[in-house]
Structure 1
């Protein structure tokens, strides 16, 4: 069933009545391997990344996103089943929000289980392809500030606090930071940012 329309496999429609872009195949990969190996696509390596470096990387990435989201072709998908730069920008903004929330849970609770988040469902439900790039750029910059402050504010004695996804993947604050940064770096690579 389509999570937006509730009408079986029918595609959601845009405000103008046009069908939404082609469905993106769900990303069902477990990206936790990036904690132990360099990503062959974007070159990211978690080695050497600490909670103290997260804030600077997030702010620099948000700066680079401003140029990406100002491109004239920001809504154009490079292939029918690959997100546009706008869609990746929306996703990056939302990843920052989710990871900041997960960090807060880890600091406030003992070994919490994170609420599930279906990124693909969110992209459709929030109609990423229709969002305003100027608004997304502003939201991304604001969210990056909040995220950078949150991760930079983690004390050394909090870096080993633990949390887990519902699938059992366990993180410390330190490994969550490393995992999160891969997402930020990788999506800039996806859009040649």
Structure 2
């Protein structure tokens, strides 16, 4: 896996994993702030892009799914995680029909819950799972934490870009 995202400039540095909880909480607060801006949050600007509201719902669910994955990796080092079904969730959960105020609260709550789990990892940072994206690969909890920061930063940029 490349350590640099060509789209947003994020560089994966596993030494940053222990700061991930704080980064995720801060970024979730920024996502919530975007959801509080006036304008159309639910409409896609281009068919291949999710709307800002859909990106926020996705991030909420990423934080919740990653929390469960990390907890399982602490119990079962090396487990094989299943895909979260990111694309089908958009329709199955009706992301575009959700209330932006509710989603703003939920994304910050989900970040708090996930951050709490990361803050309590202790000696388990090197536990692993077989992560399903982009291809199945072994990933340490350090990588999962840094990857989740990337997800939040990248999608916050996606949201802001559509509203600019």
TM-score, normalised to structure 1, is 0.76
RMSD of the TM alignment (CA)?
1.6
Residue segments in structure 1 that go unaligned for 5+ positions in a row: 1-32
Pair member with larger Rg: 1
C-alpha distance 48-164 of structure 1, shift in aligned 2 (>3 A): closer
What pairs up with 1:26-175 in 2 under 5 angstroms?
Answer: 33=1, 36-47=2-13, 49-71=15-37, 72-155=39-122, 157-165=123-131, 168-175=136-143
Unaligned 5+ segments in structure 2 are none
Structure having the larger proportion of residues in helix: 2
- State TM-score, norm by structure 2: 0.89
Equivalence for 1:183: 151
Tell me the distance in 2 between the aligned counterparts of 1:132 and 1:173. 32
Instruction: State whether residues 75 and 84 of structure 1, in contact with CA within 8 Å, keep that contact through their aligned partners in structure 2.
Output: yes
**In structure 1, distance between residues paired with 2:102 and 2:25:** 17
Return 173-182 or 136-145, whichever deviates more.
Answer: 173-182
The answer to whether the 8 Å contact 2:53/2:100 transfers is: yes
Moved over 2 A (4+): 48-51, 165-168
